[in-house]
Every structure is written in C-alpha cells, then in structure tokens.
A and B are shown apart, each in its own frame.
Chain A
Amino acid sequence: MKILRIKAIVQKELIQIRRDPLSLAMAFAMPAMLLFIFGYAITLDVNRLTTIVYDRDRSSTSRELVDALVASGYFTVVRSAEDGRELDDYLDSGRARVAVSIPEHFSLDIRTKKTAPLQVIVDGSDSNTATIVLGYMTVFTNLFSERLGNVKITPLIDPRVRVWYNPELKSQHFIIPGLIAVIMVVIAALLTSLTIAREWERGTMEQLIATPVKPAELILGKLIPYFLIGFIDVAVSVLMATALFGVPLRGSLFLLALLSGIFLFGGLGLGIVISVVAKSQLVASQISMVVTFLPAFLLSGFMFAISNMPVPLQFMTRIIPARYYVTVVKGIFLKGSTIRFLTTEALFLTAFAAFVFAVANRKFKKKIV
C-alpha cells in the first residue's frame, strides 16, 4: 500500500465534496437537522391530555375535582359535556383522549361516607398513553380522597422507588443519545454509499481502474475524508444533545470519541460495500437506507427494549451494529459507563469494521464487468 496514492485520493475527494453543495449539505446539515427534528418530535412524556368532563353532580366537590385534575398539568379540559352522547362523540372523533364522567350523587356519596364511583374512559388506541393515564388516575384519586377525607391512609408497604440514570424520567434524556447513534448509523452508510457508484456512473472509474491503484488504497482514500466528516457530525450531535436538549454527559468524552471512531469505520465501510455492489447511485442510496435505517430504528433497542422482543428477533439484534453503538452512546451519556461495561460493544464494533473492510476489499474488482 502506498501512502502517496491514498493521499492523492483523499485530497481529490475533499476537493469534490467541497465543490458539491448537495453532498456538503448532506454531510454536515442533515445529521444536525434530523437530531433537531426527531429530538423534539419523539417524546414519550404524556402531558396536557385532551379531556372531556361530564359533570352530572354540579357540586362544589365535583368542581374541586375537575380543578385539581387540571392543576396536575397532565390534563387539559377541552369541553364540559352537556350529555352523555358528547363523551362518545369526542372520544370517537379524537377530540378528546380521556373522558371523565362524574355521577349525579358524587358529592352526596362522599358526604355519607359511601365510596363514590368516578367513571374514566381512556382512548386505548394509543396503549402507551392509556397505561400512563391509568397510573396517573389511580394516584390522582388516592391523593384527592386523602384531601377530602382529611385522613392519611397508612399503607402496609411503603415502597421507596428510586430511578437511576434518568431520575426525572425525561424521555428526551433516553431518546437523544440513542437517536444520535441511529442517525449516525444511517448517515455513515449514506455518505460513502454514493462515492464509488458515482465514479462508475460518471465513467471516471474506468480510468482509475486502469492504473496501478490497489482496492485497499481506493477504499481507504475514500473512507478517510468521510471519517473526518462523520467525526465532526458526532461532535456536533453531542454538543447539541448537551447544550440544546440538556442531556447530561456523565461518562468519558474520550471513550465516546474512541468508540464512535471505531463505529464510524464500520458504518462508512458498509456504505463502501454497498457502493461497490450497486454501481449506481440511486440503487446504492436505497440499499443503504433499507439496511441501516430499519434495523437501527426498530432492532437497536433505541425505542423498543430488546428484552421485550420475541427470542428470534432478540438474536437478530445481535448482528446489528446499531444495537452496539446505541448501547455505547446511551451508556456513556446516561450511565457514565466505562470501557469495562462496554467491552462487548467495543469488540463487536471493531470486528464489524474489520469485516466490512475485508468484504469491500474483496468485492471491489478492477474490471469493467
């Protein structure tokens, strides 16, 4: 391998990237934009739920209940219903996701120390939200009962639950680091997937493969510039996560940089493999979206816990690089994980990088057909 040749390719690629506004935008603006959009769009926190209230009691107690409901911040009353039909109507049309129906003798029951029923209907088509609403409601009615009865109910067991790593249970804290990993998996492959296909399409490859350049030199020469870009992308994403989204970075920045570097080598290498096989930019970009985006989004543990998946799927996640990189970024950000806890991930990412490089090197033929 000759450094001189690799250097020539690196310089040529850098010039071409610089002169092409589209690839420049894709390289630098896209990751930041995706993080910005998804970072705000994907939130699993439930608040300000649209709620319709049907108060048949019309007493001071029932009004107090509704006020307390609103004051909790989780519910927004969009309508006070005149009759029962309206509840159905609002839930069916999606104008409300929660319906609270207070029966006629609500305050009377409470005064006479009978247990007063309170009907709550939740839109279960979003089961995640529904589950959370059920939890809220249980806690809310307990607290409200205590307030009305002015008695403290002593439970038999007093659980002291503490939440580690994300004590405020902010879903953004858990989503953003995973999101960085997913975006980088997709971007890395996309960046390089076009480079070799482009040369085949434009005919410049024919000249290049008639020279003594070696496949490994060509691959490295094309990897290095995108490695620099990918690294800047990671840095910008990490900066955005901490400065914009307020996600704490508890672990070592150096470890994050090191493992990101190893990951990038594999991710970019995968793009090269795709580019070598596809020989057309359109096909290459489509393949790279399919093989990176879907697994990274669904099977990496970024959104859906791997331990909840059916066993065959769990096995599948083990060959997906995104899974390991998601663990790395999440771990270093939220848990402050050290290399001791990330050895498997580091080893897999290294092996993956070596594997794709070997495949690219083998698959790239200096022949026309």
Chain B
Amino acid sequence: MKDEIAVYVKSLTRTFGDFTAVDHIDLEVSKGEIFGFLGPNGAGKSTTIKMLCGLLLPSGGSGTVGGYDIIGQSEEIKKTIGYMSQKFSLYDDLTVVENINFYSGIYSVPDSRKDERKKWVLSMAGLEDKKGFLTKTLPGGFKQRLALGCAVLHEPPILFLDEPTSGVDPISRRNFWTMIYEMSQAGTTVFVTTHYMDEADYCDRLGLIYRGRIIAEGTPNELKMKYMTRDVLEIDADRTVDALDVLNRNNIESAIFGSVLHATVENAAAAEPLIRRHLGGAGITVRQIEKIVPTLEDVFVTLIEVS
C-alpha cells in the first residue's frame, strides 16, 4: 500500500523564531494524483513545499517523498522530483534553448534523449519560434511554461509546483493547467499550491491550509458537500456595495463575488423573499436571485470564518 503513496508527512512543523509557519500538518498524496494545496498568502504553502523538496529542514515531524526521507535523504529526493519555484528562477540572460540545455545537463538527461526532450519542451511551451529569444524578453505565460518544461526535462515521477500561475493571464493559466493535466495522465504525481480558488476544481484532491494548519482535506466535491451544509444564493442587484451593507446589517452573511453577491443562508426558499424585502426597502433593484452550487471559495470563506 505504501507503494501507492508519493508524498507522506506526519506532524510536519517549521518555525522561524517565534513564528510557526507550518504547524503539525499531516498529508498523504497518492501516486498519479493532482494534489492542490490551497490557502491565502502566508498560510504556509511555500514553506511546506520547500520542506518536501529538501530545500528547507523541518523543525519537527517526519515524512517521505517518493519513498525517501525528507530529513535524511533530501539529495535522493532531488533526483526524483521536479520543482518549480514561486518566483521565476530560470536565467534571464540566457536564451530559451540555453536554459533548456543547461537544465538538461544539470539533470544529466542522456544524449540519446536530449533532443527529443528539448523538442518536447519547446512544443508544449509553444516556444518553437522563440528558441533564440533571451528569456527576459518573454511574456509571463511563456516564462512559466518554460520553467515547467525545464523542471520536468528528466521526466520526474513527482512534480512540485509552487504558485505556478501567479501573475499570469487567464488564458495562459488555462493552458498551463492543460499541461499539468497531460503530465498527470501520463502518471506524474503533481503537488501544486495556489491561492486561486477557481484552479482548485482542476485538482483530484485538495488540502486547505490556513495559518500553518490544515483546516480541510478531500476531493473538491467532498469539500463542497461536507462543509457547505447551508445554501448559497447568488444575488444580482443594483449598487452591489450598498446591497452588501444592507444584508450584513440584517444578519445575512454575504460577500461580493465579482459583480454579484453571494449570501450564505440556512434555507434558500425561506431566505429569498426576506432578501428581496430588505433590498427593496432600501430602494435597491434586484435583477435576479438564484440558488447556486457553492464554489470552493464559498467553502473556504466559511471555513476560515469557523476557524
């Protein structure tokens, strides 16, 4: 059974002085899974991923990655994984191809596979016609894909991605996830952190981390079912900010989602007329109220309020 586990940690802890960045977390990621590690900035996502990749020693706890001990065998782990850091960390003053050549040398990709791997990275990143460009001249989305390509040149069975899509436009983000999907289909285990809740739905399983602790874990659907026992109403109304104010004053838990409001209520049917009355009374026109399937963001907002 252990053979099926790619990442396993028990009571993993990391402190920086008085600050506990990661507080006794337990995790298990199966082989071939896309595991999404979600949480707001500063929740401890990067610290966790760095401990798993052997870049940072834990202050406590234990764990294995690809069967290797995260404390004693970090160099073995580094042979098994691909890692893409939060900050773009390829060489800006090298061209696309020079970066690829460098990392395929570093990962000792055998000569027989070298050209094939290079072609694969260039095509999946859409960089075939930008081979000779200096990396610093590339747009963000291309940089991100090149970084991913360089991290998987040696075809690692486990891939760690730390906020791979931060600061990238939505289309590039979608392309990026397509690539992750393909690698996962091919059997790669993917451990990915993000603070974009909409990306969480791409993952097979999720862990929600908040202030160094895991506050929920499961598949996206499990999380929605388990933690959202209440109904969510999407309200499309005039003067959204004023509307939010009115609802909150009347003890209806609401939050702004784009141009609409989400109100979390015990019972959708009972709450709808109430909401219409409150908003109507304040002179706000309600265009539409609709009961929706809660998003993970709703789940997360609820969970954070609880904890």
Contact = CB atoms under 8 A, between A and B. Distances in A.
A15 B55 CA distance: 27
A100 B150 CA distance: 80
B105 A212 contact: no
Contacts of A15: 93-94, 98
A212 B102 contact: no
A279 interface: no
A353 B47 CA distance: 37
Contact of B78 (A4, A8, A212): A212
A209 B54 CA distance: 9
A268 to B, nearest CB: 21
B93 A19 contact: yes
Interface stretch (A136-144, A164-172, A284-292, A361-369): A361-369
Main secondary structure of the interface of A (DSSP, over half): helix
Interface centre among A11, A205, A211, A366 (most CB of B within 10 A): A211
A19 B93 CA distance: 7
Interface string B113-137: 0000000000000000000000000
B79 interface: yes
Q: Give the contact-size bracket for chain A.
A: 20 to 34
Given A206-B87, A212-B79, A5 B54 contact: no
Contact of A368 (B55, B75, B151): B55
Select the residue from B78, B89, B92, B104 with max chain A CB neighbours within 10 A. Answer: B89
A11 B56 contact: no
Contacts, number: 86
Contact of B98 (A12, A204, A205): A12
Contacts of A7: 105
B57 interface: yes
Contact of B55 (A16, A19, A202, A209): A209
Contacts of B147: 207
B81 to A, nearest CB: 7
Interface residues of B, number: 34
A210 B54 contact: yes
A2 interface: yes
B74 interface: yes
B235 interface: no
Interface string B178-196: 0000000000000000000
B53 A203 contact: no
Given A8-B101, A368-B55, A207 B108 contact: no
A89 to B, nearest CB: 61
Interface in B32-84: 50, 53-57, 74-75, 78-79, 81, 83-84
Contacts of A367: 54-57
A134 interface: no
Interface in A1-51: 2, 4-5, 7-9, 11-12, 15-16, 19-20
B106 interface: yes
A282 interface: no
A191 B165 CA distance: 36
Nearest to A18: B93
B90 A16 contact: no
B177 interface: no
A15 to B, nearest CB: 6
Q: Which of A15, A205, A210 has the most CB of B within 10 A?
A: A210
Contact of A210 (B55, B94, B102): B55
A208 interface: yes
A213 interface: yes
A368 B89 contact: no
A210 B105 contact: no
Contacts of B74: 366
Interface string A235-250: 0000000000000000
Interface of A: 2, 4-5, 7-9, 11-12, 15-16, 19-20, 202-213, 366-369
14 contacts: A5-B106, A8-B102, A9-B102, A9-B105, A11-B101, A12-B91, A19-B93, A204-B91, A208-B106, A212-B106, A366-B78, A367-B54, A367-B55, A369-B56
Interface of B: 50, 53-57, 74-75, 78-79, 81, 83-85, 87-94, 98, 101-108, 147, 150-151
Of all A-B residue pairs in the complex, the 7 with the closest CB atoms, nearest first, are: A8-B105, A210-B83, A207-B89, A212-B79, A12-B102, A203-B89, A203-B87
